[in-house]
């Protein structure tokens, strides 16, 4: 069911913890499965110098969290904003169709943490990012309604129904 990479990251995540000096914190959850992810970023001069996570969830959620943190470290804010759930899936060498939502949660956690950093730093947040964050943070939106055009949930629900 899970790849060796997912198992390895679940059993021994290397990026778990809290950053006391974080200047960007994102908290996201999936009301359908109950996963909750908190991402901590330490951004200096536009570069993500350090990142950690705390996740309550299944093996795929924890592995996705660990992988996305590896993908973030050393990136500029702009580079991090372009990371997607596909990046996470590739880093994990795949996820079962019923667990794709964990990688979507990780992608959304990135945006929530970066938005928090921008808010705290007085940087304008793009409306698209705010809207996308809202989609995953509200209980009424557990299925894609194609409102933003970039949602991976439509593909997820299609795969689950096949």
Catalytic residues: 33, 102
Of the candidates 87, 108, 89, 121, the one whose C-alpha atom is nearest the C-alpha of residue 30 is 108
On whether the CB atoms of residues 20 and 54 are closer than 8 A, the answer is no
DSSP 108-145: HHHHHHHHHHHHHHTPPPPHHHHHHHHHHH-TT-SS--
| Structure-token pair, residue 126 | 């793009």
Residue 138, phi-psi category: left (phi > 0), alpha (psi -120 to 50), beta (remainder): beta
Measure the CA–CA gap between 41 and 162, rounded to whole angstroms.
37
Measure the CA–CA gap between 61 and 38, rounded to whole angstroms.
11
């Amino acid at each position: 069911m899970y790849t060796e990479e997912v198992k390895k990251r679940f059993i021994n995540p290397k990026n778990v913890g809290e950053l006391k000096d974080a200047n960007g914190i994102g908290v996201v959850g999936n009301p359908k499965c109950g996963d909750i992810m908190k991402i901590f970023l330490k951004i200096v001069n536009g570069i993500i110098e350090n990142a950690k996570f705390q996740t309550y969830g299944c093996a795929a959620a924890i592995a996705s969290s660990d992988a996305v943190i590896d993908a973030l470290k050393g990136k500029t804010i702009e580079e991090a904003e372009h990371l997607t759930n596909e990046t996470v899936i590739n880093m994990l060498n795949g996820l079962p169709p019923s667990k794709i939502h964990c990688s979507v949660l990780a992608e959304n956690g990135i945006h929530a943490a970066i938005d928090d950093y921008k808010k705290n730093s007085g940087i304008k947040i793009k409306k698209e990012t705010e809207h996308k964050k809202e989609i995953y943070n509200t209980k009424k939106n557990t299925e894609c309604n194609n409102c933003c055009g970039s949602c991976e949930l439509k593909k997820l629900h299609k795969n689950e129904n096949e």
